[in-house]
Structure 1
């Protein structure tokens, strides 16, 4: 019995060591599996965001808007070039995402994951021109609105009034139908 006892102890110790090693390997496998799932889910989320091509539609809308705004030929050429670049980068980006998803599903290995390119975006120059034109358009709309409002006030003016003061719009109108001149422009801050 004494001979078997040390042998049993040794087997027990080997068994304990084997269990510890198995747990360690399983935890490493589970970490790998967890990383695989996280990376795959991240790629699927990116694919879902780009699937309906909303970014591409928005880019098209922005370029169409910028093309119709300025009278400068260089801006139109820049806009067309930027959209072509955006569309090409969009296609490359979505293809790389699809390729990564496919490879990861087949191999279940994150190490084969190809790093993604920079997501599609317009250049700083394009965005600056776009916002400048949008701001100019907004200013023009505000001027058009204020002119319309001034005209309404002018129409409401009685013929015997020398001037009409409009507190809402912060200006005064003189009864000159040909010019409809503004005696004092909008006050600062209104």
Structure 2
């Protein structure tokens, strides 16, 4: 699933802070998949803690760059990103993988400020929800994700991010993340 060309073009014209908010939003819409699916596993407590702290720091535009290097080092040790000869086929594994992948590219953007990392972050979201839509009765996540990404670059990010606009975006993104987790859990229940 390729990032919408209008979104990609708009991101190219945005400041680092504006793109930082964009990747934080992408990660926010995916992070609950990881915390909700891996969280019940007692061996993943440290991983969940890392992901929660990373998500908080993604929203904080003053987080020092070196923090993101440490987060990336931690993420690289997660089972979702370790090299394997086996393909991920279980539902929990697939969506945990996409969540960690999205977080990885969001952190990479904050470390490098390379637009390709922000686009890959957005691409990972689109791929995950496109796959989710193929496995539920009322597919709408992909269309919603495209709209979230468009809104993020065309409205709140069109101006300098303010605490109130960031807070509104985050609340909306958290709601979307909860809905995605509910739909993945309903898939698991079948």
TM-score, normalization by structure 2: 0.28
Structure having the higher helix fraction is 2
Higher RCO by CA contacts (8 Å cutoff, separation 6 or greater): 2
Structure having the higher strand fraction is 1
TM-score, normalization by structure 1: 0.28
